[in-house]
């Protein structure tokens, strides 16, 4: 039922509309026009001032002609750079850029699929329950659209974020993540004339860092120290050093315990160098980046997708990811959501590509999911 040619043309059209984070306006307008032509209702939420984008998140409501489970499909409108003046080609069944920019399959492959599926539903008058399409802004710069989405506009019970690689995989788990900053404060002094008057903040931080675990800590937990900033000159005992890092885990307790271990290492190092007065001292900030995503097997959002896949003679492999996405935020808001692949490959690079065959397969699965939703 999927029109391969129309789907491919749509992807190419979308890929040529520039939409770096915060500049999703042109694409949002195009989508609004396209879905209005299909008879759908289009709403923008009021997230723009909070995300800094030109537009709010776009929520498209396609009314149903049958009863069934109300589901949503989600994609993000923004892309990473480089994405200016893109030239995207379809050659030998593969979409790619001319090498200067990304191809935009992340996440325009998903958007193309959603448009094609809506077209097929309308033109064939296939029985389907109401479907909501969620198009977020600023996913690539911290899931800002999803974090500021007006969830009162969403009526669907559960849904699918189309934002991963392998079209035969369904992702039901993604880690929780925090970011942190640790600031060690020592005391400045001339390094040659009176070093005894100083407290070396870098040295204290180094002592703590030796005890800080980084890398893959176990199967479901990772930690990283990504940035160190400190010191002013080689002849000054450094007064201040700032350390920035992150922890991710598929288990909340593990994440907390790794973070507490890091904090303890710094507290101990500072305490060990304690002298009279307020220095050395430690300041820290822990920021919740995104919450855990976990949808248990057996949940209807997974069952429905598996049933749809098996109708098409396919099987979906259920798997996990190490990265966060809008789906983490949806789940955190109480909207069960799993992630489906669209065929996008080598994303966030100018080598990004998309197989036409994978795009078609994704559209067929998503259409079937909606048809199955009508049957339940
Ligand atoms: Zn993406």
Residue 211's CATH number: 3.30.70.360
Count the domains in the chain: 2
Task: Note whether 153 and 181 are same-domain residues.
Answer: no
Task: Note whether 296 and 349 are same-domain residues.
Answer: yes
Task: Name which of 338, 327, 341, 334 is nearest 304 in CA terms.
Answer: 338
267 a catalytic residue: no
CA atoms of 66 and 198, how far apart (whole Å): 75
pLDDT score at 315 = 96
pLDDT score at 189 = 96
* Chosen domain end from 238, 273, 290: 290
Residue 234, token pair as written in the block: 């080689």
Q: 129 CA to middle of ligand 1, Å?
A: 27
Mean pLDDT, the chain, rounded, equals 96
Task: Note whether 190 and 119 are same-domain residues.
Answer: no
Q: 75 CA to middle of ligand 1, Å?
A: 8
Q: 164 CA to middle of ligand 1, Å?
A: 7
Q: 217 CA to middle of ligand 1, Å?
A: 26
Task: Name which of 5, 1, 2 is nearest 13 in CA terms.
Answer: 5
pLDDT digits (tens, 9 = 90+) for 191-240: 999 999 999 999 999 999 999 999 999 999 999 999 999 999 999 999 99
Q: What share of the chain has pLDDT > 90, as a percent?
A: 98
Catalytic choice (107, 139, 240, 372): 139
CA atoms of 307 and 108, how far apart (whole Å): 26
Q: 55 CA to middle of ligand 1, Å?
A: 18
pLDDT digits (tens, 9 = 90+) for 332-352: 999 999 999 999 999 999 999
Task: Note whether 237 and 362 are same-domain residues.
Answer: no
Task: Name which of 154, 174, 170 is nearest 162 in CA terms.
Answer: 170
Q: 374 CA to middle of ligand 1, Å?
A: 28
Compute how many other C-beta atoms are within 10 angstroms of the C-beta atom of residue 66.
13
Task: Note whether 285 and 308 are same-domain residues.
Answer: no
pLDDT at residue 84 is higher than 80: yes
pLDDT at residue 375 is higher than 80: no
pLDDT at residue 276 is higher than 80: no
pLDDT score at 117 = 98
Task: Note whether 317 and 286 are same-domain residues.
Answer: no
The pLDDT confidence band at residue 376, using thresholds 50, 70 and 90, is confident
Q: 229 CA to middle of ligand 1, Å?
A: 30
Identify whether the C-beta of residue 160 lies closer than 8 Å to the C-beta of residue 340: yes
pLDDT score at 272 = 94
Residue 290, token pair as written in the block: 């995104």
* Chosen domain end from 290, 323, 357: 290
Neighbours of ion ligand 1 (CB under 5 A): 106-107, 163
Task: Note whether 9 and 77 are same-domain residues.
Answer: yes
Q: 13 CA to middle of ligand 1, Å?
A: 18
Task: Note whether 286 and 319 are same-domain residues.
Answer: no
- Domain range for 101 is 4-174+292-375
Q: What is the CATH number of the domain that holds 89?
A: 3.40.630.10
Q: Please state whether the peptide bond connecting residue 304 to the residue before it is cis, i.e. omega within 30 degrees of 0.
A: no
Task: Note whether 160 and 100 are same-domain residues.
Answer: yes
How far, in Å, are 116, 242, 342 from residue 363 at the CA level?
7, 47, 8
Catalytic choice (32, 78, 116, 239): 78
pLDDT digits (tens, 9 = 90+) for 8-50: 999 999 999 999 999 999 999 999 999 999 999 999 999 999 9
Task: Note whether 15 and 122 are same-domain residues.
Answer: yes
pLDDT at residue 170 is higher than 90: yes
Mean pLDDT, range 240-260, rounded to an integer: 97
Task: Note whether 344 and 252 are same-domain residues.
Answer: no
Task: Name which of 93, 7, 21, 14 is nearest 345 in CA terms.
Answer: 93
pLDDT score at 223 = 97
Task: Name which of 131, 132, 128 is nearest 65 in CA terms.
Answer: 128
pLDDT score at 113 = 98
139 a catalytic residue: yes
Residue 338, token pair as written in the block: 């799993």
* Chosen domain end from 269, 290, 311: 290
Task: Note whether 303 and 347 are same-domain residues.
Answer: yes
Q: 76 CA to middle of ligand 1, Å?
A: 7
């Amino acid at each position: 039922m999927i029109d391969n040619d129309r789907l491919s043309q749509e992807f190419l059209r979308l890929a040529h509309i520039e939409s770096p984070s915060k500049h999703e306006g042109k694409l949002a307008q195009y989508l609004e026009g396209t879905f209005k032509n299909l008879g759908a209702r289009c709403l923008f939420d009021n997230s723009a001032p909070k995300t800094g984008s030109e537009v709010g998140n776009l929520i498209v409501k396609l009314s149903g002609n049958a009863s069934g489970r109300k589901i949503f499909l989600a994609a993000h409108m923004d892309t990473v750079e480089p994405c200016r003046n893109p030239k995207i080609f379809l050659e030998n069944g593969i979409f790619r850029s001319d090498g200067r920019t990304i191809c935009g399959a992340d996440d325009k492959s998903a958007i193309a699929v959603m448009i094609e599926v809506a077209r097929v539903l309308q033109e064939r008058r296939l029985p389907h329950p109401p479907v909501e399409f969620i198009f977020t802004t600023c996913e690539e710069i911290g899931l800002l659209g999803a974090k500021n989405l007006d969830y009162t506009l969403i009526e669907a019970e559960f849904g699918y974020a189309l934002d991963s690689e392998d079209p035969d995989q369904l992702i039901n788990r993604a880690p929780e993540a925090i970011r942190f900053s640790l600031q060690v404060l020592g005391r400045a002094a001339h390094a040659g004339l009176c070093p005894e008057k100083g407290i070396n903040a870098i040295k204290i931080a180094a002592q703590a860092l030796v005890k800080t675990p980084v890398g893959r800590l176990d199967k479901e937990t990772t930690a990283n120290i990504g940035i160190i900033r400190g010191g002013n000159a080689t002849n000054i005992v450094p007064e201040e050093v700032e350390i920035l890092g992150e922890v991710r885990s598929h288990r909340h307790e593990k994440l907390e315990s790794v973070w507490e271990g890091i904090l303890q290492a710094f507290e101990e190092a500072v305490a060990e160098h304690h002298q009279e007065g307020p220095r050395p001292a430690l300041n820290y900030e822990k920021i919740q980046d995104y919450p855990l995503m976990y949808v248990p097997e057996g949940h209807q959002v997974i069952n429905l997708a598996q049933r749809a896949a098996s109708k098409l003679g396919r099987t979906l492999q259920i798997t996990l990811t190490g990265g966060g996405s809008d789906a983490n935020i949806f789940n955190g808001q109480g909207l069960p959501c799993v992630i489906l692949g669209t065929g996008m490959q080598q994303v966030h690079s100018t080598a990004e590509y998309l197989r036409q065959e994978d795009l078609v397969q994704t559209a067929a699965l998503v259409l079937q999911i909606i048809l199955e939703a009508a049957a339940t």
